[in-house]
Structure 1
């Protein structure tokens, strides 16, 4: 007959007790009386569980969840669990998956018992994630599962519930705690309201005090201003009521002060004039010293630089007269005098 298996089954085909073929989704012709086959699931398998365990403080809790596993070594698993199928119906002769799931769940139950037994009841009912992580780690490292060729890929804890009586007691305790917290919150709100009201009143009082201080400062300023005005008015009135002699005395004092200022000004001008005269005398003295150091010829040359022509002619005749004894004969014709006179004019 022709036998065909599903692709999600790993088939181990035996003929007369010997393995002749293996693989996923095999199909073959065979004679039923001489052949047999084991169909091992390839896909993941889920197994539900419920454990009743006792916590460290001797309280009963119920742990409900699901684990997921897959077969990694098909021959090893088939050697431990009977996966033989009826070749005609392709149904398992026994219930291997139920037996395998039960064995894995029992191993998980031992691990759950150990973890829960170390926790207090109130801690246990709140430790689903921590419990799942610890048990999954234990299953993945379990030697028995490795010997069966099984790998646990997931472990989920859906609920950890206390016994009904304990749950009611916890609910009552929690309810009382919630009510106490509510009372504390109400008390704190009332205290906060009272404190806020006190702060508001304190701020109002501080504001009133500040306003009164400002008013006081304004009043003091007004009084000081009025006093100053009154003093000025009194001074003006006093000046008005001075006698004629006093006013005359004041005028004389002012005139004296003015004359004193004028005298100081005159002294200052005289002092400035004296200083200017000293400066001019010093300048002239310096110039004369410079002239004294020059030779007569240089001085004469300097003196004749800007002279008029007639002055120069007169000076030349004067020198001729001075040195006349050294001159033998000097003829000055009328034409020469006329030409000199004409040039000078």
Structure 2
């Protein structure tokens, strides 16, 4: 829609690059072209705005096949207005000078024209085609027929319309028929799936059997190797026992020889010690005997000398020496207790001695 601005009784129109504007004043064409911008008076101006861009027209219609089955056709037609002057002359593209809005509905007229034309050509094709063929090859056939029919339609060039492309999206039967048509395919797919399942199970069973056989063979091989291992362990144990016995015998022989050598060495050492001890004892006994003889001789000589000395001394000196020797050998006397009886006896002895003139 054109952008219209009001200024002091004048109007200013600014069109879009994709809109072709035609301005008539007093029956005379003043402005003609896309993306125009100009001033005009609304009371004397006749304006038309024709879109020149590509437009998409989506359409959905129903058709009947040769076996009387209803199908829904979904298609899209791309078109554009190649001659805006012819289109503005054949269709009402006039706009309000004050608001810029279309006075009529030209695009709806174009949609109706294109939809009915395309539907007519699609019905012609599908009416001579069965449902199964329509579902298989109907999309391409309908697309080609609609494109050819619209290109050959004389009213479209006369209206300034150019076809750009035709696309048929889908051909769909009624839901009940579609489900019924899907059933055989589904059954076939299910059968294929079941077959694949059975084959997979058979392969799985075969693989399990192969696995079980491999496990059994592995167990047999393991048992055989365990038997070999037991035999080898027994052989090793016997060999180890024999080696230990031989080592023990060698060790016992060496120990016995060592014990014999130690006993012989000990006997020799004991014999030598006994001989040395006997020799030492003999020597010691001889030394002791010699010493005893010498001591005896010295004592005898000393005694003889003592006796000779005492034989030449008088009796009084001997008595004094005897007292002295006795005093030397007496124990130490801390105190002496003199009783009257002893004192009386001593005094009597002293009196007798004095009277006789002898020393006490």
TM-score, structure 2 length as denominator? Answer: 0.49
User: RMSD across aligned C-alpha pairs, in angstroms?
Assistant: 2.5
Give the equivalent residue in structure 1 for 2:64: 54
Q: Report if the CA contact (8 A) 1:14-1:20 is conserved.
A: yes
Give the equivalent residue in structure 1 for 2:141: 130
Q: Report if the CA contact (8 A) 2:51-2:81 is conserved.
A: yes
Cα deviation digits, residues 24-74 of structure 1 (max 9, x gap) = 112221110110111111101111100111011110000112111011111
Cα deviation digits, residues 74-94 of structure 1 (max 9, x gap) = 111111110001122211111
Q: Report if the CA contact (8 A) 1:53-1:61 is conserved.
A: yes
Cα offset for 1:188?
A: 9.8
1:1-345 alignment, distance < 5 Å: 1-126=11-136, 127-180=138-191
Q: Report if the CA contact (8 A) 1:32-1:87 is conserved.
A: yes
SS at match of 1:125: helix
For 1:118 and 1:185, the matched residues in 2 are separated by: 40
Cα offset for 1:179?
A: 3.9
SS at match of 1:33: coil
Closer, same or farther: CA 125–85 of 1 in aligned 2, 3 Å = same
Give the equivalent residue in structure 2 for 1:268: none
For 2:197 and 2:153, the matched residues in 1 are separated by: 54
TM-score, structure 1 length as denominator? Answer: 0.51
For 2:118 and 2:80, the matched residues in 1 are separated by: 15
SS at match of 2:182: helix
Q: Report if the CA contact (8 A) 2:24-2:31 is conserved.
A: yes
Cα offset for 1:17?
A: 2.9
For 2:64 and 2:26, the matched residues in 1 are separated by: 51
**Structure 1 segments unaligned to the other structure (5+ residues):** 191-345
Give the equivalent residue in structure 2 for 1:232: none
Q: Report if the CA contact (8 A) 2:125-2:141 is conserved.
A: no
Largest Rg, 1 or 2: 2
Q: Report if the CA contact (8 A) 1:5-1:90 is conserved.
A: no
Q: Report if the CA contact (8 A) 1:84-1:92 is conserved.
A: yes
For 1:124 and 1:171, the matched residues in 2 are separated by: 15
Cα offset for 1:189?
A: 10
For 1:106 and 1:72, the matched residues in 2 are separated by: 21
For 2:129 and 2:177, the matched residues in 1 are separated by: 16
Q: Report if the CA contact (8 A) 1:15-1:34 is conserved.
A: yes
Give the equivalent residue in structure 1 for 2:249: none
Cα deviation digits, residues 211-269 of structure 1 (max 9, x gap) = xxxxxxxxxxxxxxxxxxxxxxxxxxxxxxxxxxxxxxxxxxxxxxxxxxxxxxxxxxx
